Amino acid sequence: MQLPTPEDLKKRRNELGLTQSDLAKRAGVSQPLIARIESGDVDPRLSTVRKILDAFEEVEKEQQIIIIDLMHSPVIHVSPGDSVEEVVNLMQKHGFSQVPVLDKGIPVGSVSEDMIVKLMAENKKKSISQLKVSEIMGEAFPTVSPGISISVVSHMLEGNPAVLVVEKGAVIGVVTKHDVMTLLQGQ
C-alpha cells in the first residue's frame, strides 16, 4: 500500500471541490495544517492522513447521493387562497414547521411557523386565522433538478428551510434540513 503524496492530497481535494478549510473541518484538523501538508512543509502522522482520506471518502459518498433519493413526494403544500387557519391545521397534522405555497403547481411562496407566530405577535387584537396565505407568505423555496447531489443541496439549506425538486416544470419533491440531518444519522 502506498501513502498519498502532498501533491496527491491537494489534487484530490481540488477534484472534490473542497477548500482547505472545508477539508480541515471534515477531517477534524486545522486549516494551516492542511496547507503545510499540501506544501510538503510537514510530514503528517499516519492518523492525520487517515482522517484526511476518511474525509475524502465521506465527500465522495455525499456526492454520489442525489436529491431524488432523499426527497419526499408528493409535496404537501398550500395555495395562495387558503386561510392561515387551514395552513396551521395542515402543518400541525403533518408535523411540519414550514410548507411551500404552490399556485397551479408553480412555487410562489412559503409559510413557516415563525412567520405565523410573528404575525400573531404583531396583530394582538386582530384575528389572523382568516387571512389568506397570499397576504402573509414569504419567498418561495429554491428549486433544483432531481439529479443534483445532496452536497449542493446541503449548502442551499444553510440559508433556506427547504428545497423543492422540480422536473419538467412540475414540483415532484421536497427536501428539508431535517431530511439531511436524518441522512447523517444513518451514516
Among residues 55, 57, 3, which one has the least CA distance to residue 34? Answer: 55
Domain that holds residue 51: 6-64
Residue 1 falls inside a structural domain: no
**Same domain as 160, residue 132:** yes
Rounded to an integer, what distance in angstroms lies between the CA atom of residue 143 and that of residue 78? 17
Per-residue model confidence (pLDDT) at position 180: 84
Per-residue model confidence (pLDDT) at position 124: 65
Rounded to 10°, the helix 84-94/113-122 angle is 140
- Report H helices in 43-83: 46-64
Beta strands, E only, 64-161: 98-103, 106-112, 143-144
What CATH number does the domain containing 37 carry? 1.10.260.40
Location of C-alpha cell 480541515: 24
**Same domain as 58, residue 128:** no
**Same domain as 170, residue 124:** yes
Return the number of other C-beta atoms located less than 10 Å from residue 137's C-beta. 20
Rounded to two decimals, what is the model's pTM? 0.65
Residue 175 falls inside a structural domain: yes
Per-residue model confidence (pLDDT) at position 145: 92
Rounded to an integer, what distance in angstroms lies between the CA atom of residue 160 and that of residue 184? 18
Which residues of the chain have a pLDDT value below 70?
Answer: 1, 124-126, 184-187
Per-residue model confidence (pLDDT) at position 144: 94
What CATH number does the domain containing 109 carry? 3.10.580.10
**Same domain as 37, residue 17:** yes
Per-residue model confidence (pLDDT) at position 109: 96
Q: Please check whether residue 23 is in contact with residue 13, taking contact to mean a CB–CB distance below 8 angstroms.
A: yes
CA quadruple 113, 115, 121, 123: dihedral, nearest 10: -120
**Same domain as 44, residue 133:** no
**Same domain as 58, residue 96:** no
Rounded to an integer, what distance in angstroms lies between the CA atom of residue 44 and that of residue 49? 7
**If residue 175 lies in a helix (H) or strand (E), which one and from where to where?**
strand 170-176
